[in-house]
Structures are given as structure tokens and as C-alpha cells.
Structure 1
């Protein structure tokens, strides 16, 4: 009787899950399996016949200069974005965790960019970076004028100009491309990381800080010896999602440079490379192979992080 009831309840549970599983299978599992298969074919979207070529797509990718450039640009972006965003988010979260006025409003202000469309944000920053009427060049020009005036006053006019500023063409000089994207990404993502850090900080028992204060520890010592170790799970989680998100960079580059990967392909990332081959050149097999190389890179980085965090992440207070 009990066994019959068990099987009945199990069957009912699977029937309730069936619509969700069907949708997941149709729109998630099947495309993943299909793209793996396609990566081993010379698969062109506008051609009827598709040819099995084994690992040839992967071999071509590893000798493709554009793909190697995309890997290089992606790593440069990851190295720039991840540490800066995590460190700034932690600093802001620690400050907001104190009892200050307008704390709720400040949290909302920092979080707003995260819920704003990446397309809208990129369009705004395209105006900010404009060479002739952009806000960034205007701010730097005013700063240069102020510095020159201060120096002139201090030296009683003997030194006229120490900073000769001319408008920078932020969007047309390759050396600025990765920096431009890092700035936009940090500005957009930092609010989300701040909220997560705040949740971690508020879970740290206040008694530990009180005990440290009694023992004569200052704020800096408390931060290094108490705060950082106890929010290590939060830091680990943020580092994982930051690295995965950074490796998938595409939208900001596409919008900021109006459908191109920047001057001299200086903003060509792996995802942009996949997009270009899949939807501009219709080489679906080649693009799928590039996508799975990206998956392998992210997977390896995640494994390294998980291994390295075993001794540094503390889940118990």
C-alpha cells in the first residue's frame, strides 16, 4: 500500500514537472547538445549540405590570428575589470555598512546601473567619450585649467602651464578601447557586487568586533583579521560571477562602437568573435567551436578558483 502511494506521488510530481522539463529541453538542453554536434561540422547556415570535419574547426581556431587576438583582448579585459570592480565594491560596501545618513538612498543609487539596460548605458557612455562635446574631455579640460591656475598662483606666474590638454579621441584610438570598456563595466556592475557584499557584512557577528576592540585592535586590524576572512564565501561568489560575466563581454562593445569591435579590432572579444562568425558570416560550426573553447576557458578558471579557495574560504564563524 505504501509502495503504491509512493509511486503515485512520484508520478504526480513528474507530471507537474513535465511542462517545465519540456520547455528546458526544447530551449536549453537541445540547443546545447546540437551546438556541440555542429562544432564538428563545416556547417554554413545558407548551405543545404553540411560536412563532418572532426576537430578541424578547433584546429583552425587555434591558428586563427583574429581568434588569438580575441582571447588576448578578453584576458586583458578580465584582468582589468575583475580586481577593480571587486575591490571598489568591497570598499563602498564597508562604508555603507556603517551608520550613515541616506544609507538606503545611496544603496539604491549604486544599484540602479545594474538594472538599467546595457544598451542604454553604452549609448550614454558613447556621448561621454565623444571627442568634441563629451563630458569626459570637458571635465579633463576644466581640471587642466584649474591645475594650471593653481601652479601659476603658487609660482607667481613664473610657470604658466604644466598641463597642456587637448581633446582625446577615446573611441578611435586602440589603446583606450579596453580601458573604455572596463570603466563602463565597473560602473554598471559595482552596485550589484556592493549589495552582495553588504549581505555578507551584515552576517558577521558584531560581538567579534566588540571583542577585538576590547583587545586593542584598531579598525584596520579588525578589517583584515575579522571582516575579510568571514566574508570570504561572499568574495568567492562575487569573483566567480565577475569572471564568468567578464568572459562574456559583448553588448557594451557592440553598442559603444556601433556594430564594430573597435578600431583595429582592439575590442574584439571571444563572444564578439562568435557573434561575427555565426550571424555575419553564417559559419555556425566554426562559431560553435569558438563558443566551446570559451566554455573550456571559463570551466578551467572556475576549477582553479574552487581549488585555490579551499584553504581561504571559511563557511563557519
Structure 2
């Protein structure tokens, strides 16, 4: 029987509910809410633990995080302006392709016209990107990125099915819009203003003058390496484990064991495996006549090494979540697809992947948040140091640890922690915004 929210019975039941919640609220207040609030207040004070006196200094701690130890020959506002110009020009080019394809559709096949514009734009951007990095003698990572875009361009130049009512442009395939925008960005960053620099180049130079900027750069680099790799491998493992194979339970347990194993134990084992003299990885590489790699001694291998350890440890947990999502898909969809003659690739593209999007969305959020908090692997692999040389393994959490534990500068450490919180919050909000239109829930 319904009763008024202002009745005595309502207030009595509400009071009883809060009394049951009171122990949890007290524990959360002591160990969660109070530290969060206190650290926010502390980020505006100067306090180094050597004295009980705290001095209010406003935003000076935040300013110190981004202060450069020596000036660099670049201006951040000019770099931001160039980046904005590149992106705007890229978006204009995308709309220009729409416009031209629409005009020429009266005289030729729309799908063929669109394919040519799409492929040519990506090809030009990729080729110029490769040439620029070869001339500039940059790392092979940039060259491989350009080659990847070039291969995507070749694959994309194919006949696109056209609708009876209108041209099927990129609105039906969101990932193609991203590829085209990136390609156009690369193209115009080298043709329109080839001698200018953007935010990426600014941070590459500025990170050598600021530990905090280097921590941001290393953390983002790690996230880009670890998150897509972990999700892709976990999905492949989940698809294999979802099949009717022998010893399936044994394989599931084997993949999940690294996740429940101590991070310290895992890092110590990998420290031995990465040894450049007698490590197991270099021994395996010697079978293919590949020279020994100093995994734990060279700066360029620091972040990839940390990413390998992290992915190996967490891929089993991600695979189990994917597996739960796969088993939640109704088998009737696959049975209907088999009746229509769909192959395995078509069933994955049109059934598995769309219905798995809620699980993928959840995994993407928790994986990215976890990647931004990487610390233990670095501390163990490099024996308490932020990398072998030049602080090549310094991440945001490690920066907070150094300021808090080693230098005992509580105000700076709190400010850095809140910058990390803001970065994660913004990325999570962006993912939720995109997820509203990209996540499909089974009805």
C-alpha cells in the first residue's frame, strides 16, 4: 500500500536504512572522502613535512608542474594555433569530398567517385608523412604509422555499395571518417604550413625541460600502446575460448592466473626474462638471428617493456569479461544468419561486434583508467627508479610518488594527482559521450 513520503512510517524506514548504511559511510568518509577533500585543499598550500606550518600559495603548485626548467624555441600558443588550423582544414577537406562526390554523382557512379577521393586523400597524407619523417630522420615508429595509413588507403579503394535513395558516404561507417580526418591532418600539416610546428612537436621538445610534461608524455605513450593491444588480444582469446574446444576450462584458468598473481612477483619474473645477457626473450629472438635487445637498459624500450608486462598480466581478466559478453548473446541471431548463408566474418561484423559493444565500452573505460595509474611494474622492473636513464619510465603516478615520498612536497604531489584526475575525468566523459551513439544494447 502506498503511503505519503511525509508520513511517520516513511521517515522511520528512511532512518533505519541510513542507520544500516552508517558503518559503510563512516569507513568511506575516513579512508576516501576525507583524503580526497584534504588533498584538494593541500594542493593550494606549500607544505613539505619538515615543518607543521602550511602556507597558502594559491595556484603556484599547479603552475610549477608546467614550468619549464629552461626555455625552448617554441611557443605553445603558436603550436596550438597551428594544430587548430590543421584540424579545421582537415574537416573542410572531408566536407569538400562530400560536395564533389555529390556533384559528380550525376555523371558517374557515386561509389567509384567517393572511393577515389577517399583513397587519394589518405594516400597523399600517408606518403607525405613518410617522406617528412624520413627526411627528418625520426624514429621508425612514425614511418610505420605512415605505412599503416597507406595500406589502409589501398584497402579502402574498393567498390562501395550504393543505396537506392542516396550515396552511402562516411556517415554509415564512422571509422572511415576518423581515418580520413587523420590523413588530411597529416597532409595539410606538411603542405599548408610545412615549416610550422604543432602541439605534438612542442611536447616532444618541452618534455625534456619538465618532469611533469615528460610524465604526461610517457603515460599517454603507454596508454596508446597498452590499451588497444590489451583489448584486441583479449577479444581474440575470448572468441577462441567461446568455441567448443577441449580443455576450455583449463585455458580460461591459465589466462586468468596472471591477473590474480602479485604484481611484484610478475614484475620480478619479467625482469629476469628481459635480461639482455641470459633472458628468455633474447634467447627466443636468437632463433631468428636477431641481435640481443637491452630491454631494461635502453631508453626507447622503457615504455614498450612496461606495456608488455601490463598487457600480459591483465589480458586474461579482460578476456573473461569479453567471454561473459559473448555468452550473453542469444544464439538465435547466429542461427538466423547461418540460414541466410552468412560466413564467420559476416556473423562477427554484423552480430557479435554490435551486440558486444556494451561490454567493449565498459572494458575500454576500466582499461584506460587502469593504464593511467601504472606504477608498480615500473618500480619493480627498474628497482625503484623511473626508468634506466633520463627518467624514461616516469609516469604520472610515479611523479606523484616521487614528490610525495622522496621529496615530501605534499602540495605539489596533491596538485599533480588532481591534474591526473582531471585528465581521466575528461577522457571518461568523452567516452560516455561517444558511447551514447555507438553502443547498441540488445533488446
Q: 5 Å matches for 1:68-217?
A: 68-144=213-289, 165-217=290-342
Q: Deviations over 1:206-250 (max 9, x none)?
A: 111111111111100110110000010000000000100000010
Q: Structure 1: how far apart are the matches of 2:239 and 2:256?
A: 15
Q: Find the aligned partners of 1:305 and 1:199 in 2 and give their Cα distance.
A: 22
Partner of residue 278 from structure 1, selected from 383, 401, 404: 404
Q: Distance in 2 between matches of 1:28 and 1:89?
A: 32
Residue number in structure 1 paired with 2:417 = 291
Distance 2:425 2:23 in 1: 30
Matched residue of 2:436: which SS? coil
Distance of 1:16 and 1:220 partners within structure 2:
52
Cα distance in 2, alignment partners of residues 205 and 17 from structure 1? 38
Equivalent residue, structure 2, for 1:242: 367
Deviation for aligned residue 1:129 = 0.5
Q: Separation in 2 of the partners of 1:256 and 1:296?
A: 28
Instruction: Note the aligned Cα RMSD (angstroms).
Output: 1.3
Q: Secondary structure of 2:13's match?
A: helix
1:101-156 CA-to-partner distances (Å, cap 9, x unmatched) read 01111000000000011111000000001111111111111332xxxxxxxxxxxx
Compute the TM-score of the two structures, normalised by the length of structure 1: 0.91
Q: CA separation in 2, counterparts of 1:86 and 1:264?
A: 30
CA contact (8 A) 2:361 2:435 kept: yes
**2:22 matched to which residue of 1?**
18
Shift, 1:7, TM fit:
2.2
Aligned to 1:301: 427
What is aligned with 1:258?
383
Could you give the per-residue CA deviations for residues 188-208 of structure 1, whole angstroms, max 9, x where no partner exists?
A: 010000000001000111111
2:285, 2:291 within 8 Å by CA — same for their partners in 1? no
- Asked whether 1:218 is paired with 2:343, we answer yes
Partner of 1:183: helix, strand, or coil?
helix
TM-score normalised according to structure 2 size: 0.66
Aligned match of 2:439 in 305, 310, 313?
313
Given that 2:264 and 2:377 are in contact with CA atoms closer than 8 Å, whether structure 1 keeps it comes out as yes
Give ranges in structure 2 of 5+ residues lacking alignment. Answer: 69-209
- Give the whole-Å Cα distance in 2 for the aligned partners of 1:26 and 1:289: 21
- Corresponding residue for residue 61 of structure 1: 65
User: What SS does structure 2 have at the residue aligned with 1:143?
Assistant: coil
Shift in Å, 1:166: 3.5
Deviation at 1:47, TM superposition (A): 1.5
Deviation at 1:27? 0.9
Q: What residue ranges of structure 1 are gaps of 5+ in the alignment?
A: 145-164
